[in-house]
Amino acid sequence: MLIHGGTIIDGTGSAPFRGDVRVQGDVITEVGSNLSVDKDAGIDATGLLVVPGLVDLHVHCYSGLGLFSVDAADIGLKTGVTTLIDTGSAGCLNYGPFHRFVMPAAREDVFALINIAQHGVQGHRDFEPYLGDLHEAQHIHAGNAVACIEQHRDRIVGVKARLTEAFTDGKPENERIAMHAAIEAADATGLPCMFHHLASSIPVHELLEAMRPGDILTHFYHGRGDGGFVPVNGAPTEGMLQAREKRIVFDVGHGVGSFAWRIAEPACRQHGFFPDTISTDLHQFCIHGPTYDLPTTMSKFLYLGMRLEKVIAAATSAPARAVNLQDRGRLATGMRADIALLRMVEGEFDLADVEGEVRTAEQRLEHVGTIKSGTRVTEHQV
């Protein structure tokens, strides 16, 4: 198969160029310009962006568990996403069925960050009785998380802790127990931690100091409580700048409560504090708005002034690198042939944040087609 005539954005952050991508089997064998084409085995990508299969670093797709998760099929290949990272839906007590039944059934590649709370994410504050991640300290256990990781190294790629005081049932000390246990489990297994931090009793500077190089802070444009930006002008605090120097990964994690224009606009437009990775935090409470899908979330950062090639990198190679999935996220010889075809559409498009604020963008990314492991899995329509 040769995908020819499109605009290649290879996922590295390099400038786009007009070119072709050759695929043999499930591997990319050649990327270049004016490659010879067998018209019967080709895809004409004229007018389209040819990019690596998108990698969503933050979703909840343990379908059938609790109130949050959605089906992988609803957020994956149909939107150009070929790899999904479920972030903490499962803890060590209920990871097994995810691994045995849900992941193999998905056409997408599904990986997981194990929740440091043994039962994972199941309840929601709007539904009684509420079962929060951190209600009981004895449900937080580094050793059991480590044992689960060691048994499932092929799919567990990190550790997750959700640090929000409302998740503790009035015991905010449980947040620190979870923070330290997550780092302990990650240290023992050599994996990264992802921390959800909003409306937390732990100051953000304390969390950033505790985090290690390569750990991930998600939801950082949230605007709820201590978020790491100076209220008067929206500048990142010194702690945020030091964390970036320390190689903390700043992840969007849009969701239903974690992306506010009033935070993101000054951070990006005035201070150049763009994300390292763009993710959706897709679940039952945001899939029908305001998040919708990963291309919509990526479009918000085009609106904020992030260069197209950087937006693509933040949704391909950067998230793949963050969880050590080195065989995807780039269009290069020898890489897995996961490819998305996108179109840049011009017009007027309303983009909403989690607070109901709307911005009108002049362009947005639209999914056109997907190739997964060298096979066309969604038909592209020019």
Q: Closest Cα to residue 116, out of 156, 155, 67, 70?
A: 156
pLDDT over threshold 70, residue 290:
yes
Neighbours of 51 (CB within 10 A): 29
pLDDT over threshold 70, residue 382:
no
Q: Which pLDDT value is given to residue 242?
A: 98
pLDDT over threshold 90, residue 224:
no
Q: Which pLDDT value is given to residue 84?
A: 98
Q: Report the alpha-carbon distance of residue 227 to residue 237 in Å, rounded.
A: 9
- 234 near 266, Cβ under 8 Å? yes
Which tens digits make up the pLDDT trace of 232-243? 999 999 999 999
Structural element, H or E, at residue 264 = helix 261-265
Q: Which pLDDT value is given to residue 380?
A: 59
Which tens digits make up the pLDDT trace of 86-126? 999 999 999 999 999 999 999 999 999 999 999 999 877 78
Torsion sign, CA atoms 73, 13, 256, 140:
positive
CB neighbour list of residue 129: distance below 8 Å, 6 or more residues apart: 123
Torsion sign, CA atoms 276, 277, 278, 280:
negative
- 131 near 169, Cβ under 8 Å? no
Determine how β-strand 339-352 pairs with β-strand 49-52.
Answer: antiparallel
When pLDDT is cut at 50, 70 and 90, the band that residue 381 belongs to is low
pLDDT over threshold 90, residue 356:
yes
Structural element, H or E, at residue 302 = helix 294-303
Which tens digits make up the pLDDT trace of 295-331? 999 999 999 999 999 999 999 999 999 999 999 999 9
CA angle 152, 156, 158 (to 5 degrees): 140
Q: Report the alpha-carbon distance of residue 99 to residue 101 in Å, rounded.
A: 6
CA atoms within 13 A on the CB side of 150: 10
Determine how β-strand 358-372 pairs with β-strand 81-91.
Answer: unpaired
Q: Report the alpha-carbon distance of residue 295 to residue 55 in Å, rounded.
A: 11
| Domain extents in the chain | 2-51+335-345+362-378, 53-322
Determine how β-strand 27-32 pairs with β-strand 17-24.
Answer: antiparallel
Structural element, H or E, at residue 245 = helix 238-245
Q: Which superfamily does 2-51+335-345+362-378 belong to?
A: Urease, subunit C, domain 1 (2.30.40.10)
pLDDT over threshold 70, residue 205:
yes
- pLDDT more than 90, % of the chain: 91
Mean pLDDT, residues 51-78: 96
Which tens digits make up the pLDDT trace of 241-275? 999 999 999 999 999 999 999 999 999 999 999 99
Q: Which pLDDT value is given to residue 39?
A: 60
The CATH code of domain 53-322 reads: 3.20.20.140
Helices of type H across 106-237 = 142-151, 173-189, 204-210
Q: Report the alpha-carbon distance of residue 205 to residue 192 in Å, rounded.
A: 19
Q: What is the mean pLDDT of the chain?
A: 95
Which tens digits make up the pLDDT trace of 158-203? 999 999 999 999 999 999 999 999 999 999 999 999 999 999 999 9
